[in-house]
Chains A and B, each alone.
Chain A
């Protein structure tokens, strides 16, 4: 090789901003030939952004990218492909309407002419046989008909197929998330063989054991920066968890509130996730703020929606004893009515109370809106303006006002602080604690660990199940990460 022993890829001082959010703040990162780099970190630590840069799907705002020792000024996906860098992203990227063979052809322009389907089929079948013996997938299967696990197998195998372009580095972003233990083992064994052949991998996984066992070097990211990078055998589980979570003690706002806490009130919610096998269930009483933690998408939102549905129609395994309101996190798809004014957006949950006889009273609707404008601080000259005249944070406040202004005694919060500025957050935290003091119950799913400091009790979720139940005094970030990364659970 003319490049000798040069790094396959090297990023120096890579920075990326999305609007006001800093996704990456000056990251140095490199991969040498013949090594497997493990990349770990919390949700939003910047792992995916970094990998998008390696794969060429995102360009850094500043910083340099070098491949095989040469500086790349116009790095792109097609350039990455030419230079032998492939990526298996977390969001499966196969076309569901096409067959396995047709999907393979998408990455290999050289498979052309008559019989390209047969060539593609032979290519992908050979690779599937190599990685996952007895995979049971036919190259003619339509991808949309395959199970999620098999789709992931195809996706992985496709990334390792070679025709005319070289292949030096494969990024595996959560490659085992949809695989069972057996196929995951097959894949990781293949990765070791691939590395032994002098090629390289980047392995991203939330299963820490997987990373510890298979990586040669581990890079830990937090808040858009690399915090530690060291040989894998220099880490153990605890050191990884500490590095990810930030060992520095955080100021707990909660202590004095905990002291002033009244005795537990009557039961408001008892719910068991559908996937729960043991007897654990979530219990919330009047006046409590209950946190739902764990990695994103591990069943927290599903349980909130199940509780919401159970309030209007009885469901097995879920007991709800008071009216429920939900504060959406995904404002545009779950919360906002785009044609309406701020006042109408707030009033929709309380229409029955705003009536005067059969008709909705505009006066009462305006009063409700004005009360909450003052109370929660919605910054607008006129509550009759369209909801989109507000900033994102103020739109979110309007959604809080909708829930808190209603008759609901149980308020479900579906990670509502996504993309909200810190000032708004602090105002809303205060309000939530104040309302809880008046006996309202809050179920609060959040992906931001600091927010859990507001909670009396935290349930940690993994794979749709409750895996830990932490009281306020046991609540540390390390504990939460330990539970949500637990391999066995």
Chain B
């Protein structure tokens, strides 16, 4: 009972609850058929949303106006960079991953440079950066689909007893991210800046450095995500990251992170990512059209923000 009550106080519980309800609804519809396979598929796909979602979460937590809209373009370019560097050879996998990380980190750093040096609002800075990144990607990748080395493709699709290995690794990564958020100076500083940037500066927080690190972190995570996506879907292309613009923001919000900044949680990103993937599966199973699917996703996000806002007003 105490456990239930303390769980109900956590904002991320609802996203997991939502995922569970959607899953149950789907297997009730199919009469229990494919229940396990659905979880495996959901885990495999949720991983990519979780990785960029965590980066986006740290950025959004920096406070109103902070958002990284360059993630889709970043993912696209990093996937091309990784595949080109790997050049289909298993021996180059690590180098390719490092190249994707470096590419993403550079994009994040440039984003912050635009915000800081030119004093452009983050929304505009990351959006305009994404156009530039996309152009680079088109001329660099020449619109061709570049194949991953077989070893890398196998690794990203590797499962043990129906559990994707990539999902396990991502769980470990998110545990690290949660610790960084709650227990490290970096995370505390991000939360402080998100609540009151001036008070954070006056309390001795190095605001510029923390914001730089956060945008760079978001970019880096976008980079690694691009490489992993190219492996999983067996090929890099310009559009590979497109759906992660909406998804990365949606999982942060549905997961219980405050859009107003200063309040964040990592488990919610997982719950929300699973929820979104399972919702898609459910609607597909029900045979709903693509238009209705998007409509429902939008309505759910609006509903969650309204519910979260209402909770604040009570306090």
Name A residues whose Cβ lies closer than 8 Å to a Cβ of B: 308, 312, 325-326, 328, 333-340, 344, 348-349, 351-352, 355, 358-360, 402, 406
Contact = CB atoms under 8 A, between A and B. Distances in A.
Contacts of A351: 185, 188-189
Number of contact residues on B: which range applies? 20 to 34
B191 A339 contact: yes
Contacts, number: 57
B60 to A, nearest CB: 14
Contacts of B263: 339
Contacts of A359: 179, 183-184
A337 B196 contact: yes
A465 B278 CA distance: 66
Contact of A308 (B192, B202, B262): B202
Report, nearest first, the 5 A-B pairs whose CB atoms are least far apart.
A359-B183, A337-B195, A351-B185, A348-B203, A326-B202
A338 B195 CA distance: 7
B198 interface: yes
B54 interface: no
Given A351-B188, A360-B184, A325 B204 contact: yes
Contact of B195 (A308, A312, A340): A340
Contacts of B189: 351
A337 B185 contact: no
Residue picked from B179, B184, B195, B196, most chain A C-beta under 10 Å: B196
A378 to B, nearest CB: 17
B242 to A, nearest CB: 34
Nearest to A355: B185
Contact of A337 (B179, B199, B204): B199
A459 B196 CA distance: 31
B203 A333 contact: no
Given A359-B183, A360-B183, A335 B192 contact: no
Given A336-B199, A348-B203, 17 more contacts: A312-B206, A326-B202, A333-B198, A334-B199, A334-B202, A335-B203, A337-B200, A348-B188, A348-B205, A349-B203, A349-B204, A351-B188, A352-B185, A359-B183, A359-B184, A360-B185, A402-B203
A312 B189 CA distance: 17
B261 to A, nearest CB: 9
Interface of B: 179, 183-185, 188-189, 191-192, 195-196, 198-200, 202-206, 262-263
Of B179, B188, B200, chain A has the most CB atoms within 10 Å of the CB of: B188
Contacts of A348: 188, 192, 200, 203-205
B175 to A, nearest CB: 13
A360 B188 CA distance: 9
Nearest to B202: A326
A355 B191 CA distance: 17
B199 A328 contact: yes
B181 to A, nearest CB: 11
A366 B188 CA distance: 15
Contact of B204 (A334, A344, A355, A406): A406
A385 B268 CA distance: 24
A355 B183 CA distance: 9
A337 B262 contact: yes
Nearest to B204: A349
Nearest to A403: B203
B195 A339 contact: yes
Contacts of B262: 337-339
Contacts of B185: 351-352, 355, 360
A326 B205 CA distance: 12
Contacts of A308: 202
Contacts of A326: 202
Contacts of B199: 328, 333-337
17 contacts: A326-B202, A333-B196, A333-B198, A334-B199, A334-B202, A335-B202, A336-B199, A337-B196, A339-B191, A339-B195, A340-B195, A348-B205, A349-B204, A351-B188, A352-B185, A355-B185, A359-B179
A334 B203 CA distance: 9
A340 B199 CA distance: 13
Contacts of B204: 325, 348-349, 406
Contacts of A328: 199, 202
A273 B263 CA distance: 38
Contacts of A352: 185
A334 B198 contact: yes
A388 to B, nearest CB: 9
Contacts of A339: 191, 195, 262-263
Nearest to A305: B202
A352 B206 CA distance: 12
A358 B184 contact: yes
B192 A337 contact: yes
A400 to B, nearest CB: 13
Nearest to A327: B202
B193 to A, nearest CB: 10
B255 to A, nearest CB: 16
Contacts of B191: 337, 339-340
Contacts of A335: 199, 202-203
A326 B200 CA distance: 11
Given A359-B184, A402-B203, A336 B196 contact: yes
Nearest to B193: A337
A329 to B, nearest CB: 11
B201 to A, nearest CB: 9
A249 B185 CA distance: 51
Contacts of A360: 183-185, 188
A1 to B, nearest CB: 54
A46 to B, nearest CB: 31
A328 B203 CA distance: 9
Contacts of B195: 337-340
Contacts of B200: 337, 348
A461 B262 CA distance: 37
B82 to A, nearest CB: 29
Nearest to B182: A360
Contacts of B196: 333, 336-338
Contacts of A336: 196, 199
